[in-house]
Amino acid sequence: MSLHVAYDISAGLAQGGGIGRYARELALALHDLATNTDLQLSLYANRQPWGQLPPTLAAVPRLHAPMGDKLWRLWLLAGAPLPGIPGACDVVHGADVIVPHSAAPAVITVHDLTPYRFPDFHTQLNRIFLRAAFPVMARRAAAIIAVSEATRRDLVNLVGVDAGKITRIYEGVNREIFTQLPVDAARAQIASTLGFEGAYLLALGTLEPRKNLATLLRAYAALPENAPPLVLAGAQGWGDTGLTQVLDELDLRRRVFLPGRIPDQLLSALYAGAEVFVYPSFYEGFGLPVLEAMTCGAPVITSNCSSLPEVAGDAAILIDPTDVDALTAALTLVIQTPELRARMRTLGSQQAQQFSWRSAAQQTIDLYRHVASRVGR
């Protein structure tokens, strides 16, 4: 008996960062599994550039809703139906919280509860909308996917969702993009493309207040002048990170590089060539950069809060993201101890093996079947 799923790919077309990658990679893995199962996948999105769709998904049936992002979100929040979702659809999946009103049961993915935990990390309008949307969508959904145990706990404690309605399904890593390279080869590739010669420290992610980059800069400033340069890679996100002021205040312009967003074809080399990857975020729903870095063999220092210990396991050094001295000490330890770096590279690669998009997709299909069977009884 076939299972027809309508999947919201909007975030995968419009967003960079973790949520956009989740929407794309899960769709790709679902499509791959569909070739050997009775799953039928359809994609829907609002007014987004379908040209961003991965070529593998080009032939998947799609629905285009001709409305901008703000109207789209208000339309769905109000419970208005989405014209064109097939009447025979068995499940509708909102890959980023929002899902339309539909006769078919809905599954939503919740990535994090930032509007509740750290409301100042959103614009006022976005914060108001999301805090209104979470309870509505939680009631509308027949089942909720949380991408970590931390997100599952936040749904229960902050939104009051019944724990029995939530399934934790970890994210994965695309091993066609992220592979482990020899350090010297990786650094040679980065030197020829981005111009960073020799060893470097790396932080990568959207540049926004939640990533706690000011603390990282203060910790880095306490290292000796001959410490490897620091690379802060990523697109500019929402809000003022204060980077310019902190760089000037600490006189770090000569030692810190901001190359912007890095194309996928360079990410493996950038991670693999790093002396250490640092991710001192205040809060994450999952933390894909940590998983990507470990997959590529980079030693990792990250925060001891939210989902990050789940992803890092025992392979990383965990620090309090508010403790500048602790971060400086961790950086010093890793930089000065080659044996520790080698051990962390091995442990990180082993830890990363626990996560895959294929596993995430299979668990998601199992949830689809469970939801559809409950409605069918």
333 within a domain of the structure (yes/no): yes
On whether both 192 and 70 belong to a single domain, the answer is no
Judgement on whether residues 72 and 194 belong to the same structural domain of the protein: no
Residues 138 and 196 in one domain: no
pLDDT at residue 364 in the model: 98
* Domain membership flag for residue 257: yes
Q: Burial, 68: exposed, middle or buried (Cβ in 10 Å; 0-12, 13-18, 19+)?
A: exposed
For residue 53, what pLDDT is reported?
Answer: 84
Which residues lie below 8 Å from residue 205, measured CB to CB, with a gap of 6+?
Answer: 17, 211, 234, 279, 281, 289
What pLDDT is attached to residue 46?
A: 79
User: Domain for residue 177, yes or no?
Assistant: no
Q: What is the pLDDT of residue 238?
A: 62
Q: What is the pLDDT of residue 126?
A: 79
Same domain as 302, residue 247: yes
Residue 83, domain extent: 3-172+356-376
For residues 348 and 208, membership in a common domain is answered with: yes
- Asked if residue 152 is part of any domain, the answer here is yes
Nearest residue to 183 (alpha-carbon basis) of 174, 173, 191: 191
| pLDDT of 128 | 86
Backbone angles phi and psi of 6, in degrees to 5: -100, 125
- Residue 290: partners with Cβ closer than 8 Å, 6 or more residues away: 277, 279, 300, 302, 308, 311, 312, 316
pLDDT at 345: 97
User: Does 362 lie in the same domain as 264?
Assistant: no
Phi–psi pair at 86, nearest 5 degrees: -55, 135
Q: Show the low-confidence residues of the chain (pLDDT under 70).
A: 1, 15-16, 47-48, 66, 82-87, 237-241, 375-377
What is the structure's pLDDT at 54?
85
pTM of the model: 0.93
Asked if 2 and 11 count as a contact pair (C-beta separation under 8 A), the reply is no
Looking at the domain assignment, is residue 322 inside a domain?
Answer: yes
208 domain-assigned: yes
**Helices marked H in the chain — which ranges?**
10-14, 17-34, 69-77, 114-117, 124-140, 149-154, 183-193, 213-221, 243-249, 264-272, 288-295, 308-312, 324-336, 338-352, 357-376
In sequence order, what are the residues at sequence separation of 6 or more whose Cβ sits closer than 8 angstroms to the Cβ of residue 309? 318
CB 249 within 8 A of CB 217: no
Structural domain count, the chain: 2
Q: Note the pLDDT of residue 325.
A: 98
**199 and 241 share one domain:** yes
138 and 230 fall within a common domain: no
- The first and second tokens of residue 246, run together, are 């902190």
Q: What pLDDT is stored for residue 239 in this prediction?
A: 54
pLDDT of residue 109: 97
Query: Is residue 339 situated within a structural domain?
Result: yes
Angle between helices 183-193 and 264-272 (to 10 degrees): 130
Residues 135 and 203 in one domain: no
Cβ(214)–Cβ(247) below 8 Å: no
Q: Are residues 193 and 168 in the same domain?
A: no
Residues 117 and 142 in one domain: yes
Residue 192 within any structural domain of the chain: yes
CATH at 222 = 3.40.50.2000
Pair (365, 276) in one structural domain: no
